A and B are shown apart, each in its own frame.
Chain A
């Protein structure tokens, strides 16, 4: 038996083609020893939920810079629940105003990282909060 690897999906929901942040993060997760599936841009929440289940990930990291996070992020959580996959942890990042944090946490987003967040802090958060299944 080998050590259980943490599997993460980094996804960009909605009409937002700015994925530099998502790529930086995907690479940083790779360097932390995680297996990262990157889906690319312009994903619907439905596509993200299905992909996350097919890939059996422990964590989905959503990146959104367009301002549509109030709909897109909770929708991914909702769909995972519908598909009996609520054990998959969902976190978000991007341009997200502080006044939206509470609403997102309430909808089931476990953590939010905005510009200025340190990569090490994000990796530490994953190590402390995500148990590979």
Chain B
């Protein structure tokens, strides 16, 4: 309880250690989440995604300034990839955000993906809870550089910003499924580079193809450029921040906030079940060497993966003994 109090008071050492313990799946970190959970749910969580080098960190830096001007406290979780070879990582998102380091209203934490494939890290959901309980008004979550498919950010944020830059492909890219579907706000960044007006037009065409109901969110496309001219850049970012807040208002006044919360909590409970049931079974099987023996049974064709899995599940899950998967209806 002492820890919960310190988190809520914004004790940086306690908060940053807890996030680390969450990343390392330390058992006591789970207890901490149980304790702080009642104090979460107040922050506006904003996801920023887009390809590597699109300018996400620079936008985050600008957004921190914009929200601080509105007297909102800001937490940032910036994710960069883990090496598949060494398991190490080079986390460089902070470089762009240094001017806020000494502002006590801003907390920035870098996370490595550690093998997660959806553009985030496994600990990010819980880390958001920590910053939320800490009392941050705004939480900015910057994904790794994403391609087409890494859309997990929608399960973790209220407002998703997809950052695009000119010169990445033709108009067919704009109507493909995946990342182009998840935006609440599009940002065409580096809009002073060649090809920007074409990209802008393609995006607008794409949006016009979709049928947005009259009371729906009109999906803004915004341009940002001149990151090295503070006044011009600041103005653009201020209007982006304005649109972000407008989107939240829209969520509150429509049913969307509830349905997004439902979408998020569904994923959260499934993840928790996986951690508490599946991970436990797997580590059990690994520890007693059974997993190895099962693999050999497959190599020797003694059995097949589904028979083995059904045997295991009937052993562990007593209430529904080995019921084979049946398609509904």
| B19/A56 in contact, CB under 8 A | yes
Most A CB contacts (10 A, CB to CB) among B25, B85, B98 go to: B98
| A50/B101 in contact, CB under 8 A | yes
- Output the nearest chain A residue to B112 by Cβ-Cβ distance: A35
Is B83 in contact with chain A by the CB < 8 A criterion? yes
| A33/B88 in contact, CB under 8 A | yes
| A31/B83 in contact, CB under 8 A | yes
Contacts A1-B24, A50-B101: A38 and B95 contacting too (C-beta < 8 A)? yes
Q: Which of A2-10, A96-104, A108-116 interfaces with chain B?
A: A2-10
Is A131 in contact with chain B by the CB < 8 A criterion? no
| A84/B13 in contact, CB under 8 A | yes
Q: How far is the CA of A9 from the CA of B295 in the complex (A)?
A: 41
Is B89 in contact with chain A by the CB < 8 A criterion? yes
Residues of B within 8 A of A38 (CB): 90-92, 94-95
Contacts A1-B25, A37-B94, A47-B102: A55 and B88 contacting too (C-beta < 8 A)? no
| B88/A29 in contact, CB under 8 A | yes
Residues of A within 8 A of B13 (CB): 53, 56, 84-85
Q: How far is the CA of A51 from the CA of B13 in the complex (A)?
A: 11
Is A30 in contact with chain B by the CB < 8 A criterion? yes
* In the complex, per-residue mask of A23-36: 1 if CB is within 8 Å of any chain B CB, else 0: 00011011111111
Is B12 in contact with chain A by the CB < 8 A criterion? yes
| A30/B88 in contact, CB under 8 A | yes
| B24/A5 in contact, CB under 8 A | yes
The number of residues on chain B lying at the interface, defined by a beta carbon within 8 Å of a beta carbon of chain A, is 32
| B102/A46 in contact, CB under 8 A | yes
Q: How far is the CA of A31 from the CA of B26 in the complex (A)?
A: 24
| B112/A40 in contact, CB under 8 A | no
Q: Which of B63-71, B103-111, B172-180, B259-267 interfaces with chain A?
A: B103-111
| A51/B12 in contact, CB under 8 A | no
Interface residues of B in 17-74 (CB under 8 A from A): 17, 19-20, 23-27
* Chief secondary structure at chain B's binding surface: mixed
Residues of B within 8 A of A56 (CB): 13, 16-17, 19-20
Q: How far is the CA of A124 from the CA of B27 in the complex (A)?
A: 30
Is A107 in contact with chain B by the CB < 8 A criterion? no
Q: How far is the CA of A33 from the CA of B27 in the complex (A)?
A: 23
| A54/B12 in contact, CB under 8 A | yes
Contacts A7-B20, A30-B86, A37-B94: A1 and B107 contacting too (C-beta < 8 A)? no
Closest Cβ of chain A: how far from B83's Cβ, in Å?
Answer: 6
Residues of A within 8 A of B26 (CB): 1
- Output the nearest chain A residue to B87 by Cβ-Cβ distance: A33
Residues of B within 8 A of A84 (CB): 13
Contacts A30-B83, A84-B13: A39 and B88 contacting too (C-beta < 8 A)? no
Selected from A26, A27, A31, A47, the residue in CB contact (under 8 A) with B98 is: A47
| B20/A37 in contact, CB under 8 A | no
| A31/B88 in contact, CB under 8 A | yes
| B86/A32 in contact, CB under 8 A | yes
| A2/B98 in contact, CB under 8 A | no
Residues of B within 8 A of A39 (CB): 94-95, 98
Q: How far is the CA of A105 from the CA of B98 in the complex (A)?
A: 28
Q: How far is the CA of A46 from the CA of B24 in the complex (A)?
A: 28
Selected from B16, B88, B92, the residue in CB contact (under 8 A) with A54 is: B16
| A36/B101 in contact, CB under 8 A | no
Residues of B within 8 A of A31 (CB): 83, 85-86, 88
Q: How far is the CA of A27 from the CA of B85 in the complex (A)?
A: 13
Residues of A within 8 A of B112 (CB): 35
Residues of A within 8 A of B27 (CB): 1
- Output the nearest chain B residue to A41 by Cβ-Cβ distance: B95
Interface residues of A (CB under 8 A from B): 1-5, 7, 26-27, 29-40, 43, 46-47, 50-51, 53-56, 84-85, 133
Interface residues of B (CB under 8 A from A): 12-13, 16-17, 19-20, 23-27, 82-83, 85-92, 94-95, 98, 101-102, 107-110, 112, 114
Known: A33-B86, A35-B112. 6 other contacts (CB 8 A): A37-B91, A38-B95, A39-B95, A47-B98, A50-B102, A54-B109
Q: Show 8 A/B contacts (Cβ-Cβ < 8 Å), sorted by A.
A: A1-B25, A1-B27, A35-B112, A38-B91, A51-B98, A54-B16, A55-B110, A133-B17
